[in-house]
Structure 1
């Protein structure tokens, strides 16, 4: 770990980079944990990998040795320039550095173009990709919502996240949240390992976790998804209130209609939102579908 720590500090000093919390810049300085990320991703030689926030490129280099292509999206101009010079000087031909904000980058357009270029070698199959990243923590929730809720979705994500966020994603009743429902609706998630704060420089105030998210294979309906999550948001709108009161107020329907739906689904009238599993929410949505607009 000491070698990576020294390298990281030296490179930052050379580039006059002061790690910024506003950009979620905490550099991982333990090589074994990079290896754990790679192992969790179960990479194949024909894989395409989107890396978000490559930083100084330590993970990028390991990915490039394993896969067909790495598409590394870096917001910081200095880091993107540094990475491009490193790629060019080492004659690495399977890494593309993209100096963009991932939340504004037109991934659909980029990936459609990439898929078209590779069409001849796919033999009729669609081109899929994985996301492997030591994520900038300040964009985690919006990033996940963006890449899970619309096409083209990745087949797998292996991410370094704040431990607390990772635990919320894999939560079970009675500790469910909108975040847990949002991720579990689209994917199966598991925590691979916990990573202590001392493995980063600068050292963050919280521990982290490597999480693996595998997308479910069934198809989604954009309009139905929106209505489903509208119901979920209404359900969680006032945590201290019973779920039936939130739903009656949010859907503007009589409490008796909510009671009927609860009876159909087999829920207690006293239940709160965090007690419902994803399956419970899906059953409740089916029972209340006509009232969700």
Structure 2
């Protein structure tokens, strides 16, 4: 039997009120829930992971599909509620950031707790068998992930683009949740893409320079120690390589580079190394 989102939330709240420390803001708009499921394009061969299912408003729709569904929930009371509502759900009571996800998972569909958005995307990226995701996140986070404008340039979004095609879908206002969050929300679609050449070097260049984003890239890389020694053919020659490397981006700050610039920058470093050893 199907239940309205509001009914599932009310039954959970008979046991306990939402825990704001865990970021529990439950989606109550039926149209948005339908939109998430439509965006997920679920197939019979899919094994979906839902993170933070809460009262089960999205879980219910996922289980009505032909896909296999697993869920991870940190709240013990919510786990009891879910086991009553969905006895056949493959549910794990655990912190999603600490839990090893099943290797069979190929997609994530979730209204995730906003405070774990960054580490969750990072973890998801390293599970290469996960090919797509439909997640609800804070609006500001969505734009940083998508690099919507120059002011959104950040390590998070740049690194994510090494592995994902990122699309912003429906914007979701606070009154579509219970209790209402203080921020706007956004559905984000992620689709796995092939990694570019020199993926590890590009990733480290972005993360290392953004860690000191007010410094010029030249100054940061010249004090990078052994961080880059294993990311190319140069072994112990990285410091001397960077000392002799000239490129227009060396005197820029990291937020001045777009994604393609980072890819080109890494390629130019590799090419400079090969020119040096040929001399």
TM range (shorter): 0.7 to 0.9
Aligned counterpart for 1:96 among listed residues 84, 90, 96? 90
CA RMSD of aligned residues (A): 2.6
Residues 200 and 172 of structure 1, relative CA distance in 2, 3 Å threshold: closer
Partner of 1:161: 137
More helix by share: 1
User: How far apart in 2 are the matches of 1:183 and 1:255?
Assistant: 30
Does structure 1 conserve the Cα–Cα contact (< 8 Å) formed by 2:217 and 2:249? no
User: How far apart in 1 are the matches of 2:180 and 2:98?
Assistant: 28
Runs of 4+ in 1 over 4 A off after TM superposition: 218-221, 251-256
User: How far apart in 2 are the matches of 1:85 and 1:12?
Assistant: 11
Does structure 1 conserve the Cα–Cα contact (< 8 Å) formed by 2:8 and 2:57? no
Aligned counterpart for 2:188 among listed residues 208, 211, 221? 211
User: How far apart in 2 are the matches of 1:86 and 1:173?
Assistant: 43
Partner of 2:231: none
Q: Look up the SS of the partner of 1:250 in the other structure.
A: coil
Q: Shift of residue 20 of structure 1?
A: 1.6
Q: In the alignment, does 2:34 pair up with 1:49? A: no
Partner of 1:105: 99
- Alignment deviations for residues 16-47 of structure 1 (CA, whole Å, 9 cap, x no partner): x2212221111111111101111111112332
Structure 2 residues not aligned, in runs of 5+: 227-237, 274-279
Residues 102 and 268 of structure 1, relative CA distance in 2, 3 Å threshold: closer
Does structure 2 conserve the Cα–Cα contact (< 8 Å) formed by 1:237 and 1:246? no
Structure 1 residues not aligned, in runs of 5+: 116-127
Q: Look up the SS of the partner of 2:137 in the other structure.
A: strand
- Alignment deviations for residues 224-251 of structure 1 (CA, whole Å, 9 cap, x no partner): 62x4433212211333333333323335
Equivalent pairs counted in the alignment come to 256
Residues 68 and 5 of structure 1, relative CA distance in 2, 3 Å threshold: closer
- Alignment deviations for residues 210-265 of structure 1 (CA, whole Å, 9 cap, x no partner): 000000135898xx62x443321221133333333332333597799467341xxx
Aligned counterpart for 1:179 among listed residues 150, 153, 156? 156
Does structure 1 conserve the Cα–Cα contact (< 8 Å) formed by 2:48 and 2:68? yes
Partner of 1:142: 119
Residues 217 and 229 of structure 1, relative CA distance in 2, 3 Å threshold: closer
User: How far apart in 1 are the matches of 2:221 and 2:47?
Assistant: 43
Residues 204 and 258 of structure 1, relative CA distance in 2, 3 Å threshold: farther
Q: Shift of residue 173 of structure 1?
A: 6.4
User: How far apart in 1 are the matches of 2:265 and 2:223?
Assistant: 16
Does structure 2 conserve the Cα–Cα contact (< 8 Å) formed by 1:236 and 1:246? no
User: How far apart in 2 are the matches of 1:288 and 1:220?
Assistant: 13
Q: Look up the SS of the partner of 1:190 in the other structure.
A: strand
- Alignment deviations for residues 144-167 of structure 1 (CA, whole Å, 9 cap, x no partner): 111102x34311000000000010
Partner of 2:276: none
User: Which structure 2 residues correspond to residues 1-293 of structure 1 after superposition, within 5 A?
Assistant: 4-5=5-6, 7-8=8-9, 10-15=10-15, 17-88=16-87, 93=88, 95-107=89-101, 110-111=102-103, 115=104, 129-149=106-126, 151-171=127-147, 174-175=150-151, 176-218=153-195, 225=200, 227-250=201-224, 257=242, 260-262=245-247, 267-288=248-269
Residues 71 and 81 of structure 1, relative CA distance in 2, 3 Å threshold: same
